[in-house]
Amino acid sequence: MDKKTNGTDGACNRREFLRTATMASLGASLGGLAMEGCASLPKGSGAEIPIPVPRETLRIGFVGIGGMGSNHVRNLLAIEGAELRAVCDIVPEKVAQAQELTVAAGQPKPTGYSEGPTDFKRMCDEEELDLVYTATPWQWHVPICLYAMRSGKHAATEVPAAMTIEGCWQLVETAEKTGKHCIMMENCCYDRSELTVLNMVRKGIFGELLHGGAGYMHDLRPIKFSDAGEGQWRRDWAMKHDGNLYPTHGLGPVAQYMNINRGDQFDYLVSMSSASKGLQAYAAEHLPADDPRRKEQYALGDVNSTLIRTVHGRTILLQHDTNLPRPYSRINLIQGTKGIFRGFPDQIHIEGRTEGHDWESLDAYREEFEHPLWKKLGTRDRAKKAGHGGMDFIEDYRLVHTLKNGEYPDQDVYDAAAWSVLVELTERSVARRSRPVDFPDFTRGRWKTRPPLGIIEG
């Protein structure tokens, strides 16, 4: 399989840098679409990644101080045992902002790195760090995580962890070779309803699981056409790719319900996209007549639907819908032999508990099944202020807690790869008239014996 390009050493102008890097990645990742199945085969040793060595303080270097990056920095500064030693961004003002936040939190001023798009390498080379955390545009997640692990640091990344099959394999193989963890920060696994449902699943309330529903349904049109933030790069992906570009928010929790990589495994998928109309219509209605963006053409279908089957015969319907007017939803559905739950709004039906064929509110089950992790952290003022209802703070807290205390992370590199690989797999299926595409087994068979994620107390 041809290697994929995941980054570039382009100019430091933020807009041109982001656009150049994105388009380079887009073009390179299409090269293998004509190939059958999953073209990348296991190449590494398959060695299990060890439990982290406990340490009194977790020394962190942060790359990408944008919207989500700034949120993570604030969270980390509020978590005991986390020390922000270095910050990196191609915009010096963003580095300075993070340095000011750190000093205001009572920590020493972190070293700043802003000498171009690959200055994260100098940070990794010069700083004594335990963890490198990235919240950069998608195409930079893999190169930053790889360099961090090869420099002897754990890596954490915003979602998706990788945009290609090859990138997923690189993360897995490098984590195994270096013995360093690579953790994708899927915050939706820590939302209140997802944690409650996970607790109910573990207690057998839904019986044997058979089907799930997941998605990312979010009207992002104003963000995609913004002159700042994700508007500088995210729309470019829609010009060349047609599949599910952002699969992990809805899929992560459902994969945990079903013990994917820990007793079951994604087997194969089929994927289909609608026509592409939403971004074009939005541009025609909202942009000036002479705006060059009105002439852009987009490959990305407005609604992508993917059906996944697991080795043990479970199914998952996964959807991506970000170019049309609609309310927000991640679907968050799980169905078993004894009942069903669906989110947005949260509704539940349990045989023997729910009367007739009606739905109940999940609130009726909160007192009995509230997850202990949410009880401990979700109601804190810091969590409420962290964004997304508290789940952002909990995911950062758990990252620090596990790496600092020598515990295995809640999500590992195999989860990062299995959930992120949907990006290229769906594109391959769509391009071949929805033909089935097999999933790689990033665990190399160890999914059969790896223990499920338990109910975390704190």
84-107 residue pLDDT tens = 999 999 999 999 999 999 999 999
pLDDT score of 46? 62
Q: Which residues contact residue 36 at a Cβ distance below 8 angstroms, ignoring those fewer than 6 apart?
A: none
pLDDT for 37? 40
In the 8-state DSSP scheme, what is residue 12? Answer: S
Q: Where are the beta strands (DSSP E) in 314-373?
A: 315-321, 333-336, 339-342, 347-350, 360-361
Q: What is the mean pLDDT of residues 68-82?
A: 97
**Mean pLDDT, the chain, integer:** 91
Residue 374 confidence (pLDDT): 95
pLDDT digits (tens, 9 = 90+) for 399-408: 999 999 999 9
| Lowest-pLDDT range of 181-185, 362-366, 382-386 | 382-386
Res. 214: pLDDT tops 80: yes
Domains of the chain: 34-186 (3.40.50.720), 189-374+412-448 (3.30.360.10)
pLDDT for 139: 98
* pLDDT score, position 380: 77
What predicted TM-score, i.e. pTM, was given to this entire model?
A: 0.91
Looking at residue 141, its amino acid is: H
Average pLDDT over residues 217-235: 96
370-380 tens-digit pLDDT:
999 999 998 77
Note the residue count of the chain. 458
* Residues 143-170 pLDDT 10s: 999 999 999 999 999 999 999 999 999 9
Q: Residue 337: CA atoms inside 13 Å, Cβ hemisphere, count?
A: 4
Q: Binning pLDDT at 50, 70 and 90, where does residue 387 land?
A: confident
Taking the C-alpha atoms of residue 21 and residue 446, their distance in angstroms, rounded to an integer, is 35
pLDDT digits over 274-285, tens only? 999 999 999 999
Q: Do 311 and 182 contact (CB within 8 A), yes or no?
A: no
- Work out the pLDDT band at 35, boundaries 50, 70, 90: very low
- Tokens representing 101 are 């936040």
Residue 348 has pLDDT above 70, yes or no: yes
Average pLDDT for 291-314: 98
Q: Give the percent of the chain with pLDDT over 90.
A: 86
Q: How far is CA 132 from CA 85, 89, 145, 369, in A?
A: 10, 13, 7, 35
Reduce the DSSP state of residue 133 to 3 states and report it: strand
pLDDT at 77: 97
pLDDT at 24 (0 to 100): 46
